[in-house]
Chains A and B, each alone.
Chain A
């Protein structure tokens, strides 16, 4: 077993019998990110039960999402989908008054072929509220890819008028925004100031085409990444998604776009093909190594010479020393469920770990090409064999491989974590990487904090001798 080829990366594809979250889970973080949105998941009790249990406490905080629960009469087409959806959306509009309603299509709407894309524009006109349709279903996608479908749908709603080039028009747009803000009771003054500051900044910094970053991150992290680029004289003209639906960035053929997460390949495709944007292919800003190359690639495209990045990276690495001592030489097995695996594995190899297997739900070799290249480079630099990459893994087979390889750490879903722990295999719950802040120089520490937690805990277990607790 584990005869790993060290010459070039090997890709395998298994049965796809693996555990992951349903992509509708993206509503959990997206409704928080896009503050004026409401997410309506059109599905069955099964979808609702999943959301309710997976999101735990959040469900009690009057979240801005709900289920449109399909009943037997909906399935057998005794009821009119259009009328039903209109009724629910009207209710949402009256109760919550959002700026946009996002419909999340599910497996059931796919199977009964409910024409969500067809109905949305009609209801949108009638209720005068934008309705965005994203088909984030388990038939086609895994976990974080849900965000990809939503962002791809949102990309279509981005205005095409450039803010930088056509100032008159953009000012007009600002006015429209002001009116919106008045309606929603948001301070227009600070908005105006913000706009002016951003305009001034554009003038101050290097002359480069507009750059829009895509991927949903907590606002603190977007701020950190934006500042990191600003240090290089690069202005971020917008983020997809923005914090408010009414502030979506302008996209057109002059705009350069760059992704911050590895699962956004559909969004990237949409931006290139539909919005004619130019995609900057880069590894993702996960880990100081990834962040540095990410910035370098962007600088490179804008023909800017990156300043002080090397020192920045090495200071960060130095501050990790304690963690690095813990992880050095230890082995990891990624079972795969959220598509962050490749970037995380690359960072962990650079941190001195050995990766046996990278399980991943879906591998877009084009969108991840820069990340793959960096992985290869990192392996040869650290002088470790290249890990096997297993697309659509089979959890049963993986458990057999884990039993054989006895890795020091398995990064896996909750379904397997406790049973593996009981068998003496340390685990880290993979979903935490999706919710923790892991992007940029500053947050790389959090990744190691997560990864080393079982090792730090093992120090206790060594003393008690309670390692294997199953018969």
Chain B
């Protein structure tokens, strides 16, 4: 048992449902107690979905505890088959139903006989894998199922497209800025003269899955979800895949260079000049390269920040901050424990320390200890930041509704670099404000300082001290007060006078 207040990744069935409901005309049936269909609320609220979420529950109640599901699950599958005529019905277990140890596979097999829809059982262990791992698995399971089906029916056409083409694997409902990223990726590939073969699962029909092998290569923009499918397609059909994320200027150009290699290998006659394209985009389309040279960004040099999120976003943002903006990343971390090795390798050399944890209090403690100037993290880090009075830019799921913006906000590609530059710059205090902070000695340079010193250590302020404190602009007053008290505490001073304040300012400046 674990005392938990908050979690970064959801339970396994959420992952399965995200895959199923991203496909067109696929229905998921959860074997779950009343109230477990909260996924529908999230999709309807966060994504502001106009259509009914194609997820229903086959309710597990008291009767099922005593006599088992018997015909109920099968009936529900057949009913959905009749009502909605989906191409595929995915039966999804939940943590509750999985301990009932009912043979759901048998229900699926029996329902298949009568159903005109295909029926699959999402085989995920709720106590071992999380939302992302389950989504990754389910996507692979569905892809494999349809490719094998086409193979059996001998309709699988393995001929490659004439022009270079790619599949994008892993665009999902409820994914962090997924829709915008997808649009940006399409634009990028279009610029490179590469056709989009299929995008899965978002908006894709399962009947199109048999087209997957026609692509020259696969793109997995986020390594949490889609990698298993890419590996399967590589193994089975020898389709190469890219799992590097085109985030940031350097990340995007590396991504394009990799595509160039794949394309040129297959078609040496391809005349597109990728280098020129990268150069032009970097110079003129993306403002991020210019931004990092501008004096605005100069002010950010060496500032201490902390990064935390899923493996893809945390690693990419860490690299952008360190390589492209000269910002000092004190700690970079991820909650994707299963991908810890990859993550460590990616951020090595770009940060002082690496934190791999699913426990948000550990992250909070790390932030309190480091006292960064800004945080780049999930919604949880944003709230930690609020409590500690440190600004935070949200760069990764888990997210709130404000992270589903209506405007165009990709994180990937060249437009993504602009968005990220804005996000990073806006998260820091602005330049002039910053000078004022310096001027009044508002920076914490001491290690291991204690939060909230005021009125706890018997330190009092004299009247003239307070008067002097009042002269300081309000937005830095708290910090100056804190630093002065810290100084007084170290020196063993009981009452803070004007002189003590000046001395404190000097000592911080030194």
Question: Hey, which bits of chain A sit against chain B, CB under 8 A?
Answer: 16-24, 42, 44-46, 48-50, 52-54, 56, 59-60, 63, 66-72, 74-75, 79, 81, 84-85, 87-88, 91-92, 107-108, 110-112, 137-143, 396, 399, 413-419, 422, 469-470
Contact = CB atoms under 8 A, between A and B. Distances in A.
A417 B56 CA distance: 16
3 tightest A-B contacts by CB?
A22-B35, A138-B33, A415-B40
A50 B35 contact: yes
Contacts of A140: 61-62
Point out which of A18, A81, A88, A138 has the most chain B C-beta atoms below 10 A from its C-beta.
A138
Contacts, number: 162
A417 B61 CA distance: 26
A166 B48 CA distance: 60
Contacts of A18: 34
Interface stretch (B6-14, B233-241, B444-452): B6-14
Given A54-B38, A143-B35, A416 B100 contact: no
A137 B49 contact: no
A415 B44 contact: yes
Interface stretch (B91-99, B112-120, B203-211, B290-298): B91-99
A363 to B, nearest CB: 16
Nearest to B42: A53
A60 B383 contact: yes
Tell me whether chain A's interface is mostly helix, strand or loop, or mixed. Answer: helix
Contacts of B36: 22, 46, 50, 138
Nearest to B379: A60
Contacts of A46: 11, 13, 36, 94-96, 126
B1 interface: yes
B170 to A, nearest CB: 21
18 contacts: A16-B34, A22-B33, A24-B35, A44-B95, A46-B13, A46-B95, A52-B6, A53-B41, A56-B400, A60-B386, A79-B1, A85-B1, A108-B99, A111-B96, A138-B33, A141-B34, A142-B35, A418-B48
A45 B130 CA distance: 9
B399 to A, nearest CB: 11
Point out which of A84, A88, A111 has the most chain B C-beta atoms below 10 A from its C-beta.
A111
A142 B34 contact: yes
A422 B51 contact: yes
Contact of A69 (B4, B33, B35): B4
Contacts of A17: 56-59, 76
Given A20-B35, A46-B95, A422-B51, A72 B127 contact: yes
B135 to A, nearest CB: 14
Contact of A49 (B11, B40, B76): B11
A417 B42 CA distance: 12
Nearest to A19: B37
A19 B128 CA distance: 28
A21 to B, nearest CB: 6
Nearest to B130: A45
A238 to B, nearest CB: 31
A18 B35 CA distance: 9
Contact of A111 (B10, B48, B65): B65
A19 B40 contact: yes
Q: Which of the four size classes fits the interface of chain B?
A: 35 or more
Contacts of B130: 45
Contact of A48 (B4, B50, B62, B380): B4
A56 B398 CA distance: 12
A198 to B, nearest CB: 37
Contact of B49 (A84, A138, A419): A419
B35 A23 contact: yes
B195 interface: no
Contacts of A67: 2-5
A92 B5 CA distance: 12
B306 interface: no
A164 to B, nearest CB: 41
A84 B383 CA distance: 30
Nearest to B95: A44
Given A71-B2, A71-B127, A138 B35 contact: yes
A46 B52 CA distance: 22
Contacts of A88: 1, 3
Contact of B1 (A60, A74, A422): A74
Interface in B47-105: 48-53, 56-62, 65, 76, 83, 94-96, 99-100
A422 B96 CA distance: 34
B73 to A, nearest CB: 12
B49 A45 contact: no
Contacts of A79: 1
Given A19-B41, A74-B1, 18 more contacts: A24-B35, A44-B127, A52-B6, A59-B6, A67-B5, A69-B4, A70-B1, A75-B99, A92-B3, A107-B60, A111-B99, A138-B33, A139-B60, A143-B35, A415-B41, A419-B44, A422-B51, A469-B50
A422 B127 contact: no
Contacts of B45: 414, 418
Interface string B176-219: 00000000000000000000000000000000000000000000
A42 B3 CA distance: 9
B487 to A, nearest CB: 30
Contacts of A44: 11, 95-96, 126-127
Point out which of B14, B99, B126 has the most chain A C-beta atoms below 10 A from its C-beta.
B99
A416 B42 contact: no
Contacts of A59: 5-6
A90 to B, nearest CB: 11
Nearest to B400: A56
A418 B35 contact: no
A71 B57 contact: no
